[in-house]
Amino acid sequence: MRTGATQPHVRMLTFWFSGVVKMRQVIDQMGRKVRVPLRPSRIISLVPSQTELLFDLGLDDEIVGVTKFCVHPADRVAQKQTVGGTKQFRFDVIDQLRPELILGNKEENYPEGIARLAASYPVWLSDIYTLDDALAMIRQVGELVNKTAVATQLTEQIETKFAGLQPLQRPLRVGYFIWQKPFMAAGRHTFIHDMLARCGFENAFAVVGNGRYPELTPQQIRDANLDAIFLSSEPFPFVEKHRQAVSAMYPGTAVHLVDGELFSWYGSRLLKAANYFQELISSYEE
């Protein structure tokens, strides 16, 4: 875990809570000290993968707000109040919901918005780059919301599935693209990079340029000598027409559409990831 980040003072506005609420202090994945209710009953999630996790932990009644990008489970998120996007919160709506706990993420949310919320509410942030980080997050969230046993069982199931993953036996140099115009790829210090490595794929853009998602020129892509290009379904929604266009640009390089949720969501969707990765690996070994 990364704990070197600045620990801002969190000012609790206790009038949001009715009566006397017992509080406890916890440390989130950013190393921030957060005071949270012992039993939070009104929870807002600002991260799609963590929203799905909360539902899978059995918190249907406690969840009061989600973002417009929270799409799983579809039938249940549709019944919850939308509080804006992951990088543009509707503070007036959040105030009306009177949350007792807000779950966010360092990368997926924006610092200014998180700071504003943290001045009034308990805001717990995840910071995830690897599978181990994700498993730690699931366990910690389970403790936060009094679902420790369910969270422990979930992490054990995910660990078992990934332990059985058989990585690619031959080197395969790939580029994992998340955006076009400009093309952007997943770099080294990302959760996607860890997933690629666990599959046995070599991330060709692990150390290219600055930042975790480097912008790439068409020539840089050609010079990378890729065996395959992965076009993710998110955040840019690559579809078949894009695959065909990229194939025409880089003849001789295999171009495939891949499920971005299974490569980048770090909550309970990880239960489905290992099987998907094994099928993808098998397609290159036939």
Query: Cβ neighbours of residue 258 under 8 Å, at least 6 residues apart?
Result: 176, 230, 231, 232, 233, 280
When divided into structural domains, the chain yields a total of 2
Q: Which of 104, 128, 152 is the last residue of a domain?
A: 128
Does residue 121 sit in the same domain as residue 177? no
Q: Which of 128, 162, 184 is the last residue of a domain?
A: 128
User: Residue 204: which of 181, 189, 185 has the closest Cα?
Assistant: 185
* Whether 180 contacts 158, CB under 8 Å: no
pLDDT score recorded for residue 207: 86
Does residue 43 sit in the same domain as residue 111? yes
Read off the CATH number of the domain in which 123 is found: 3.40.50.1980
How far apart are the C-alpha atoms of 265 and 158, rounded to whole Å? 13
Tens-of-pLDDT digits for all 286 residues of the chain?
343 333 333 333 433 444 567 899 999 999 999 999 999 999 999 999 999 999 999 999 999 999 999 999 999 999 999 999 999 999 999 999 999 999 999 999 999 999 999 999 999 999 999 999 999 999 999 999 999 999 999 999 999 999 999 999 988 999 999 999 999 999 999 999 999 999 999 999 998 766 799 999 999 999 999 999 999 999 999 999 999 999 999 999 999 999 999 999 999 999 999 999 999 999 988 6
Does residue 190 sit in the same domain as residue 100? no
Full domain range(s) for residue 228: 173-285
In a domain, 151, yes or no: no
In a domain, 166, yes or no: no
Q: Which of 73, 108, 128 is the last residue of a domain?
A: 128
Does residue 28 sit in the same domain as residue 110? yes
In a domain, 163, yes or no: no
DSSP H stretches of helix in 98-175: 111-118, 131-144, 148-163
